[in-house]
Amino acid sequence: MEAKFQELKTRLLEVNDISSAAGLLHWDQSTYMPPGGAAARGRQMATLSRLSHEKFTDPAIGKLLDALEPYEKSLPYDSDAASLIRVTRRKYERAIKIPAAFTAEVANHSAESFQVWTEARPANDFARVRPYLEKTLDYSRQAANFFPGYDHIADPLIEASEYGMKATEVSRIFAELRAELVPIVAAITSQEPADDSCLHQYFPEEKQLEFGLEVAKQFGYDMNRGRQDKTHHPFMTKFSLGDVRITTRTKENFLGDALFSTLHETGHALYEQGIRMDFEGTPLARGTSSGVHESQSRLWENLVGRSRGFWYHYYPKLQSVFPEQLGAVDRDTFNRAINKVECSLIRTNADEVTYNLHVMLRFDLELALLEGKLEIRDLRNAWRERFEADFGIVPPDDKDGVLQDVHWYYSLIGGGFQGYTLGNILASQFYVSAFKAHPEIPAEIKREGKFSTLHNWLKENLYQHGSKYTAPEIVERATGSPLSIKPYIAYLKLKYGYFYDLDDDGTQQWEDMVKAWPGQSAS
């Protein structure tokens, strides 16, 4: 049995190496590759993705998994070996349903579509991407139909990144959240908007990058196993547990962009760097779902990086980096500026309160497209109508409307956006649980800029496990509760009740919620 288990691990390592090489090609395409490399790069990534798919779906792997079943059953559910076999089987059974040729075709199409989008977006030219998007929708439906028997056509697509989650459940959570959010957004946006002019000054790129990376290191990002480069659409990527990279972009006339996207990607990177080294090269060595992954980027970006406590410690440092720009701006003004709530056009720049409405808009349009209730040719108008209904403004163009996100132009329709909002919800849930176990965390951040207690709790309870547990399992284990919107709503009311006049300033709700939270008690 030991020999078969070793053989499985060896085969999985080869698959991992090929996909890591494909990941490196993608990283290069998004950072340093000249535009002329696009066509060949698309083909190269398609070749690698076909090879890794073929190797992973080799019937020999299926035979090994069958042979290892008694061994798996003889072990406790949470043993490493049983978990590796279980998670591999789940991914294998999914992968064998998708033909290798299809995967390669989609990879090729995605690379082309991405390249066209990078030109069509600045040109505000939806017509140019339309044929690509039609093909993408077609591929998305085909992908779902490799898994007959679903309740909703989006289920198999959602399950690819969010195992255990279904479209109806996402819709239910979103409806519950929407009912809480809409009145908060309405109350805040009816008040005098925060003055964020202090962020819109000239901030030299180099200093911005330096400051952001310094905070990333303080959070715990290990530079011996990481690096930062510039890109158009920031992301985190991993080639091994010893090489977890972040990318960022800067705007010299706006301080918020590079800083918060760096902290965001750092959160993703901390999760990956925190995975147990002995999981290296196996399917366990990655974050368990995109929602849980996003919870970590949100936790470090928003709950920590946009908190008053964080800036109590860091604002004097930022002022000393930018004395001319911020020397005369007091800390409270800065805190209000970085937490400004407004109905704006761009999802990635949206504040914590309105952000989820951007996600719900996309998620609902995706369901309508997949269900066949909406055609790509009507997508542009559907976007504008829904945007006006939710935000009270009509996007002046498509560049900042339907063309703004890379997702539909780089991957399938229906697999991606819900993770962002699930992540926002879970970020508060993990934070409250860490806080419950270590009530000293906020004071440590405020007084000393010390993040290790929080980081260690996350490593211990979440990061180290990688994909060993599914998202619902790890959420329950780490926080003592299934996914709940309560911590998130309480957090929003507490935080924004300070900045804005709300019916309920959130203090009591936060305290009651923490008291009742089923997490581990203080030790």
- Interface segment toward Zn ion; rule CB under 5 A; list 149-157, 292-300, 363-371, 472-480: 292-300
For the bound state, the minimum distance from the C-beta of residue 27 to Zn ion, rounded and expressed in Å, comes to 16
Residue from 159, 265, 272, 301 carrying the catalytic annotation = 265
Give CA separation, 482 vs 176, 218, 473, in Å. Answer: 15, 31, 8
Pair 482, 344: CB distance under 8 Å = no
**Of the listed pieces 282-290, 296-304, 338-346, 484-492, which binds Zn ion according to CB under 5 A?**
296-304
Nearest alpha carbon to residue 342 among 263, 406, 256, 232: 256
Interaction of residue 418 with Zn ion, rule CB under 5 A: no
Q: How far apart are CA 212 and CA 266, in angstroms?
A: 10
Stretch that binds Zn ion, among 293-301, 317-325, 327-335, 342-350 (CB under 5 A): 293-301
Residues 375-404 that bind Zn ion (CB under 5 A): none
Smaller CB separation from Zn ion, 264 or 455: 264
Residue 25 Cβ, how far from Zn ion at the closest point, in Å? 21
Compute the distance between CA of residue 432 and CA of residue 384 in angstroms, rounded to an integer: 37
Q: Which of 297, 288, 267 is nearest to 473 (CA)?
A: 288
Query: Are the C-beta atoms of residues 218 and 266 closer than 8 Å to each other?
Result: no
Closest separation between CB of residue 350 and Zn ion, Å?
Answer: 13
In the complex, what is the shortest distance from the CB of residue 140 to Zn ion, in angstroms, rounded to a whole number?
21
Where b means 16+ CB within 10 Å and e means fewer, 116-150 reads bbbebbeeebbeebeebbebbbebbbebbeebeeb
Cβ proximity to Zn ion: between 308 and 347 the closer is 347
Which residue lies nearer to Zn ion by CB, 155 or 294?
294
Tokens coding 268? 């993703």
Nearer to Zn ion, 297 or 302 (CB): 297
Stretch that binds Zn ion, among 37-45, 187-195, 290-298, 401-409 (CB under 5 A): 290-298
Output the smallest distance, CB 293 to Zn ion, in A: 7
> Which residues from 73-132 bind Zn ion, rule CB under 5 A?
none
Report the residue number, 136 or 297, with the smaller CB distance to Zn ion.
Answer: 297
Q: Give least dist CB 423 to Zn ion, A.
A: 7
| Contact by Cβ (8 Å): 212, 254 | no
Residues 135 and 132: their CA atoms lie apart, in Å, by 5
Distance CA 448, CA 430 (A): 22
266 is a site residue for Zn ion (CB under 5 A): no
Smallest gap from residue 268 Cβ to Zn ion (A): 6
The span from the CA of 13 to the CA of 1, in Å, is 18
12-20, 289-297, 329-337, 424-432 -> range binding Zn ion (CB under 5 A): 289-297
Ramachandran area for residue 216 (φ above 0: left; ψ -120 to 50: alpha; else beta): alpha
Q: Which residue's C-beta sits nearest to Zn ion?
A: 297
CB closer to Zn ion out of 215 and 374? 215
Which residue type does 274 have? G
Q: Between residues 19 and 297, which has the closer beta carbon with respect to Zn ion?
A: 297
Q: Does residue 265 carry a catalytic annotation?
A: yes
**SS3 category, 230:** strand
Q: For the chain, first and last CA: distance in Å?
A: 42
297 sits near Zn ion (criterion: CB under 5 A): yes
Q: Which residues bind Zn ion (CB under 5 A)?
A: 297
Which active-site residues does the annotation give?
265
